[in-house]
A and B are shown apart, each in its own frame.
Chain A
C-alpha cells in the first residue's frame, strides 16, 4: 500500500500564481486533512473533510480552497499565492469512530512563493 501520496514534492511560485496540491490515500479512510507547518509554529489545520462530500475550515483557511473529489482524493488550491503561504504542506487521513484514530501523513509539499 502506498498510504498517503502527495504531488508535487516541491514547487516554486511567483506571487499571484495559482496551483493545486494533490493528495490521495488508499486506506479507505473517511477523513482527510490539509495542514501547513512553519518553523516554530507546529502543524496548523487549513481544511478538513470528515467524510466524502463534506469539507470544513480549520484554523487557517484564508487564501485556500479544497475539493474532496471522492473518498480517496482531497486537493488544496491556492488561487493567488502570497509569500506568506511559503510553507510545508502535509495531507493526512484517518479513520474516525467517535474519536480520531491514528492519522497517516503524506510526505509533504515544500512550497516557496516569491
Chain B
C-alpha cells in the first residue's frame, strides 16, 4: 500500500466553480502535512501547509482529519491559473524524508 494516495483526477471544472479532493496517508505517526502545486513540466512549489485546526489561504482551504487519516484541499472560485497538479505531502516526526502522493490534476476551463 502506498504511503500517500490521491485520486489522480482529472477534475475538469468551469471557472468560478468549487473543487475539492482528498488524500489519504497510511502512517498514523505522520506529523506534518502539505499541499504542493506542480505546473506542467515545472518543479513542485509549496501551496500551503495543513494545520490540525484547518487553515485557509485566500481561495484555498485545507483540512486535516487525523482519525480517518486524510487531508483535503478545497479551491473556491476557480481561476484558469489554478490548472495544475496538486501533490499531497506528508512528513513523519524525526524523519528527514517527505512522502509524496502521485498528484491530483485539476483543469479549469473558461
Contact = CB atoms under 8 A, between A and B. Distances in A.
B44 interface: yes
A61 interface: no
B46 interface: yes
Nearest to B98: A100
A95 to B, nearest CB: 11
A53 interface: no
A50 B103 contact: no
A54 B102 CA distance: 28
Interface in B54-110: 87, 91, 93-98, 100-103
Q: Is the contact region of chain A dominated by helix, strand, or loop, or is it mixed?
A: strand
B46 A102 contact: yes
Contacts of B94: 98
Interface residues of B, number: 24
Interface residues of A, number: 24
A100 B103 contact: no
A31 interface: yes
A99 interface: yes
Interface in A55-114: 56, 58, 90, 96, 98-100, 102-103, 105-108
A80 to B, nearest CB: 26
Q: Is the contact region of chain B dominated by helix, strand, or loop, or is it mixed?
A: loop
Nearest to A59: B97
A50 B41 CA distance: 27
20 contacts: A35-B100, A41-B102, A42-B102, A43-B44, A44-B100, A48-B97, A90-B44, A98-B93, A99-B31, A99-B32, A99-B93, A100-B96, A102-B34, A102-B46, A102-B49, A103-B46, A105-B44, A105-B45, A107-B42, A108-B41
Interface of A: 31, 33, 35, 40-45, 48, 50, 56, 58, 90, 96, 98-100, 102-103, 105-108
Interface of B: 4, 8, 31-32, 34, 41-46, 49, 87, 91, 93-98, 100-103
Given A102-B34, A106-B43, 19 more contacts: A40-B8, A40-B102, A42-B100, A42-B101, A42-B102, A44-B100, A45-B98, A48-B96, A48-B97, A56-B96, A96-B96, A100-B32, A100-B91, A100-B97, A100-B98, A102-B49, A105-B45, A107-B43, A108-B42
